[in-house]
Structure 1
């Protein structure tokens, strides 16, 4: 009688409960399942419901090998989950106990935890699980996080995260220069109390990073070699990709993707469309929103603009947006949430107006799309610096004295970007390098195989 097949190695995956963190870890989970592993993917109850609703709208199914589970996040039903400081502060108390219980009951040997959840390293001691960390931001920003105690020691910021000495920070020549006022953890909130909580959490959890078996990075050797050399036990496996269109990617999305935009793109001329998307956290007030709308119309070019339900702060009426959609019909298309990777790979897309979140940055880079950079908070300023100052694949949109990016600025920078052939050449070069890294035999592909072999060590 043949021996029964050996069970697939079981891995728990724990993202920070935000769209830009859930999505890349879901993409990694797809890769692990492709290589014969089984994944328990942990969302908070709140986000689990959002994912299921998005999947229902798309008639999506969770792929075999990925098991969706969830736990409370410690907030009440009406809690503000866009308040990152308060959300992050309550997660350990709410989740550590249930996570430990599940690890023990299912005899899970490996946990892949988001770096922003690195308090989960405690489970290595309490539950005996081995922990790999996953960085949802660049290797350069990961290093900057580890460098915060030195920034405090040098008097650039204080222990509350207040900038006390404005200075350009560049940890090595090939890493992005940023201003002290743009350090990710000091720009994540307008509230000094919230920033203090964020810095306190970073200082508390930084020492635990060295306990991780490895640090998985959504980047690749060719683009961040200097930074990766300085990250302890780094394993770059990026740029991560969504699964093929034939399988469901909705298991990582908080909003249903509007696939009708792909047919619209098919009708547009090659390299003609301005794609505009600002991720899951950016919020515009009425003035900025209307200037952007007017600026896109002023360019005279076709545009695809993703406006998620909570993109504005409530002062822009639906009636105004509906009237705008009618006015630009035939020239511009506004959708709620786009299948971004498929949009960026479409031949009609000419450029990407982006907040420069790391996922968007990697996706634009992998598809050779020039950037118009419009960062909002956190690591986005650092990513903008990579795009504009290091890689040379985009230019920055600049606000006026009232902190508004005007319609004239948008029109002018679109014309400038699309007229600069050198930017297009560099974008194409980095596309080739990114695609080579994830192809068989490439640096990221080889690192993925190393990760799979490590996770098989039960």
Structure 2
């Protein structure tokens, strides 16, 4: 992966940024454990809401981790009094769009690199073993955390996008520009949902045989041109690499098509993040 080649320090440092929902955090954490097992220094970045939710549920020392596996936070704007707020997906997406921004993340990266440049200085953090961080060499980001792309450009480090969905679904997302050009997305109005428009056959998506428009992700079948999923699809090609939660034997045609595309270079399939932990000891 490209981020390994950038590091001048013997231990590369990957900063993981999951989307702040349980179904995204857990596989990202398993992937971070795999990177750690392969010799990476890890900084795992939760939002403040989720960080304190973990502490409340598991105890004040539950996120202390190892000296080279640290947890940090960035602000999210979610009310700490509402324990179940992240279960409301529309509200969560809206809060992320409004409150999760580039400047706090840039500050965090600067702090991590600052502690790397001065081993004798002590910095405040959510984990008390990060005085000797190696310099940040790559960012591993959920595909929906769009501000990480700008951070990678600012610091001159690669951004690897982690895709928690199947390769075939990701392929349909990558075809959004073509869907827009052909007038298929976003939907012009809600009448398209019931007038037979969704029965249109799509036979031109690489690696995917004939499907109907209604068979692609409902996230793309929105009538809102500013939908966060549409924005995410336009931003993805700027990433240096993509790690997809799949394996070649399951989706060979789609993974081959993604690998050969100039818009999605450096495709890596990792399966299954949920079972990595049980296999690390014997690997």
TM-score between the two structures when normalised by the length of structure 1: 0.45
Which structure has the bigger radius of gyration? Answer: 1
User: In structure 1, which of residues 88, 111, 118 is the aligned counterpart of residue 93 of structure 2?
Assistant: 88
What CA deviation, in whole Å up to 9, does each residue of 1:99-153 have, x standing for no partner?
Answer: 1011122222211010111332011222333211110111111111122333344
User: In structure 1, which of residues 15, 24, 34 is the aligned counterpart of residue 27 of structure 2?
Assistant: 24
Alignment check: 8 A CA contact 1:134 1:215 kept = yes
What CA deviation, in whole Å up to 9, does each residue of 1:192-228 have, x standing for no partner?
Answer: 7xx727x533333433322211001111111112212
Is 2:102 the partner of 1:74? no
- Which structure has more RCO (C-alpha within 8 Å, separation ≥ 6)? 2
Question: Cα–Cα, structure 1 residues 11 and 179, in superposed 2: closer, same or farther, change >3 Å?
Answer: same
SS of structure 2 residue aligned to 1:223: coil
User: In structure 2, which of residues 91, 106, 109 is the aligned counterpart of residue 100 of structure 1?
Assistant: 106
Equivalence for 2:46: 43
Is 2:257 the partner of 1:204? no
Is 2:149 the partner of 1:146? no
Equivalence for 1:127: 155
User: In structure 1, which of residues 235, 239, 261 is the aligned counterpart of residue 268 of structure 2?
Assistant: 235
1:182, CA displacement in angstroms?
Answer: 5.9
Alignment check: 8 A CA contact 2:177 2:234 kept = no
Q: How many residues in Structure 1 have an aligned counterpart in Structure 2?
A: 236
SS of structure 2 residue aligned to 1:196: coil
Equivalence for 2:249: 222
Equivalence for 2:3: none
User: In structure 1, which of residues 14, 22, 33 is the aligned counterpart of residue 17 of structure 2?
Assistant: 14
1:16, CA displacement in angstroms?
Answer: 0.4
Question: Cα–Cα, structure 1 residues 186 and 246, in superposed 2: closer, same or farther, change >3 Å?
Answer: closer
Structure 1 distance, partners of 2:88, 2:96, is 13
Greater shift in the superposed pair: 163-172 or 16-25: 163-172
Structure 2 distance, partners of 1:176, 1:238, is 26
User: In structure 1, which of residues 166, 170, 173 is the aligned counterpart of residue 198 of structure 2?
Assistant: 166
Is 2:147 the partner of 1:114? no
Equivalence for 1:318: none
SS of structure 2 residue aligned to 1:243: helix
Q: Which runs of 5+ in 2 are unaligned?
A: 1-8, 114-135, 259-263
Alignment check: 8 A CA contact 2:15 2:42 kept = yes
SS of structure 2 residue aligned to 1:42: strand
TM-score between the two structures when normalised by the length of structure 2: 0.70
**Alignment RMSD:** 3.3
Structure 2 distance, partners of 1:161, 1:60, is 48
Q: Which runs of 5+ in 1 are unaligned?
A: 1-5, 248-438, 441-458
1:179, CA displacement in angstroms?
Answer: 5.2
Structure 1 distance, partners of 2:138, 2:189, is 34
Alignment check: 8 A CA contact 1:219 1:238 kept = yes
Alignment check: 8 A CA contact 1:140 1:176 kept = no
Structure 1 distance, partners of 2:15, 2:268, is 18
Question: Cα–Cα, structure 1 residues 207 and 158, in superposed 2: closer, same or farther, change >3 Å?
Answer: closer
What CA deviation, in whole Å up to 9, does each residue of 1:30-84 have, x standing for no partner?
Answer: 1111111111111111111222334349x96654232111122123335643343
Structure 1 distance, partners of 2:13, 2:191, is 44
Alignment check: 8 A CA contact 1:149 1:203 kept = no
